[in-house]
């Protein structure tokens, strides 16, 4: 809440008090037998309305103590009861029902006694007292209704917040259960298959070396790739079993050289160029940059046989620019249909608030360019 919002009720109460003071000053000044003390009491009783919301009990006491003598002495009519009615409403609304009832009874009793004490008491005087009593009763009833309505609204808001919190907890619990289910499926299927590939590749490499034969580069690449896949799969399983956030031990640009070396072992000609001052990157940006290069090199190996790839990492002031170009057979007039890999890249870049361009180049080949802001996730 701003300062203006907090001060607004006080300003409104101050204006109410000033208007009431001006009205009572006019009424008292035009009433016979009214003196300076009566005018001062009326002004003090009206100005007590400044605190009718912040200090309702104090405002009730001050307004009643000031306005009752004025009403008894000069009998200014119904106008003199307005400050007392307002503070009675405030006191009942705040829960001070007994003081409010006593103040109303004192004022009504004084008004009735004044009319009965006079020698020329008329039916109109009694009607005025009955009307005044009705206004006080209406003020109290309005305060009770307002108090109950406010309590109802607060209870409704509390229940809505509780229901929202329960829904959030249920959603988090279900998401956690789903992560555990996915982790079990990955462990029971992929982990077993990758382990077999790793073991078989290791056995083949061992036998080849034992016989004194040259180990095929493709076999070494399979062995290394399976080891890397096992490492990343374990990290993914730990994330799924934890809280859904990515593990800081997942691959980043510190493993870029290993990634490019594996691509070269499959026969892909790949170069790496880094510009700008290397520095610590946000974990999300570091992982996204590694995955983009990994997917781009994989696509070059699959779809651009015999092509060469150039990887460029640019450390700019506010962003990390990742670019992978190849000289394959991509045609600018026939852009490829985005597959799962490109969609995954776009999702990673969009999650960081960056920009991705993946399209054929005019001079031939394909380019992937991602601009990743260093401010963290969007």
- The answer to whether residue 68 is domain-embedded is yes
The string of pLDDT tens digits covering residues 111-120 is 777 767 655 5
The string of pLDDT tens digits covering residues 128-153 is 778 888 888 888 899 889 988 988 88
Share of the chain above pLDDT 90, in %: 13
Q: Which of 104, 121, 138 is the C-terminal boundary of a domain?
A: 121
The string of pLDDT tens digits covering residues 297-324 is 888 877 766 778 999 999 998 899 999 9
Report the predicted TM-score, pTM, of the whole model to 2 decimal places.
0.45
DSSP at 255: G
| pLDDT of residue 88 exceeding 80 | yes
Q: How many CB atoms lie within 10 A of CB 268?
A: 20
- Chain centroid to Cα 21, Å, comes to 46
Token pair 């046989």 is at which residue?
Answer: 305
Question: Which parts of 211-266 fold into alpha helices (H)?
Answer: 217-241, 256-265
- The answer to whether residue 61 is domain-embedded is yes
- Chain centroid to Cα 255, Å, comes to 36
Bridge partner list, 271 = 310
DSSP state letters, 27-64: HHHTSTT--HHHHHHHHHHHHGGGGTTTSHHHHHHHHH
The span from the CA of 51 to the CA of 57, in Å, is 9
- The answer to whether residue 259 is domain-embedded is no
Look up residue 371 and give its two tokens: 């601009």
| pLDDT of residue 17 exceeding 80 | yes
Number of domains in the chain: 2
- The answer to whether residue 17 is domain-embedded is yes
Measured CA distances, 248 to 29, 179, 239 (Å): 81, 18, 10
What is the reported pLDDT for 248? 46
Is there a contact between 309 and 272 (Cβ–Cβ < 8 Å)? no
DSSP at 214: P
- The answer to whether residue 202 is domain-embedded is no
Domain housing 56: 3-121
The span from the CA of 161 to the CA of 124, in Å, is 55
Instruction: State the pLDDT confidence band at 247, using cuts at 50, 70 and 90.
Output: very low
Instruction: State the pLDDT confidence band at 243, using cuts at 50, 70 and 90.
Output: low
- The answer to whether residue 64 is domain-embedded is yes
Is there a contact between 320 and 289 (Cβ–Cβ < 8 Å)? yes
DSSP-derived pairing of the beta strands 308-315 and 366-373:
unpaired
The upper half-sphere exposure of residue 305, i.e. CA atoms within 13 Å in the direction of its Cβ, equals 0
| Average pLDDT for 11-36 | 84
For position 323, which CATH number holds? 3.30.565.10
Q: Which of 105, 121, 137 is the C-terminal boundary of a domain?
A: 121
- The answer to whether residue 231 is domain-embedded is no
| Average pLDDT for 104-111 | 85
- The answer to whether residue 19 is domain-embedded is yes
The string of pLDDT tens digits covering residues 173-200 is 888 788 778 877 777 677 767 877 877 8
Q: Which of 100, 121, 142 is the C-terminal boundary of a domain?
A: 121
What is the reported pLDDT for 371? 94
């Amino acid at each position: 809440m701003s300062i203006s919002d907090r001060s607004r009720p006080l300003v409104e109460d101050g204006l109410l008090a000033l208007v009431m003071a001006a009205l009572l000053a006019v009424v008292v000044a035009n009433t016979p037998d009214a003196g300076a003390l009566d005018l001062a009491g009326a002004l003090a009783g009206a100005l007590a309305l400044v605190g009718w919301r912040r200090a309702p009990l104090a405002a009730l006491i001050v307004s009643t103590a000031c306005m009752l003598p004025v009403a008894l002495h000069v009998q200014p009519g119904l106008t003199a009861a307005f400050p007392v009615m307002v503070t009675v409403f405030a006191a009942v609304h705040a829960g001070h029902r007994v003081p409010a009832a006593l103040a109303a009874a004192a004022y009504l009793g004084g008004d009735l006694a004044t009319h009965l004490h006079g020698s020329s008491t008329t039916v109109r005087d009694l009607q005025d007292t009955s009307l005044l009593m009705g206004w006080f009763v209406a003020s109290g009833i309005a305060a009770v209704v307002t108090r109950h309505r406010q309590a109802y609204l607060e209870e409704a808001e509390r229940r809505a917040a509780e229901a929202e919190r329960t829904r959030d907890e249920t959603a988090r619990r279900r998401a956690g259960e789903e992560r555990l289910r996915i982790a079990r499926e990955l462990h029971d299927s992929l982990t077993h298959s990758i382990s077999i590939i790793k073991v078989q590749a290791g056995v083949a490499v061992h036998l080849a070396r034992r016989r004194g034969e040259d180990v095929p580069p493709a076999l070494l690449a399979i062995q290394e790739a399976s080891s890397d896949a096992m490492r990343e799969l374990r990290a993914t399983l730990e994330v799924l079993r934890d809280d859904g956030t990515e593990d800081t031990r997942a691959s980043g640009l510190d493993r870029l050289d290993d990634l490019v070396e594996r691509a070269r072992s499959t026969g892909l000609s790949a170069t790496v160029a880094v510009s700008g001052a290397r520095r610590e990157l946000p974990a999300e940006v570091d992982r996204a940059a590694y995955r983009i290069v990994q997917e781009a090199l994989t696509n070059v190996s699959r779809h651009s046989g015999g092509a060469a790839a150039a990887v460029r990492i640019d450390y700019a002031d506010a962003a990390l620019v990742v670019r992978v170009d190849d000289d394959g057979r991509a045609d600018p007039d026939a852009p490829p249909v985005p597959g799962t890999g490109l969609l995954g890249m776009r999702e990673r870049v969009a999650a960081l608030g960056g920009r991705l361009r993946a399209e054929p180049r005019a001079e031939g080949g394909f380019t992937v360019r991602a601009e990743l802001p260093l401010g963290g996730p969007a």
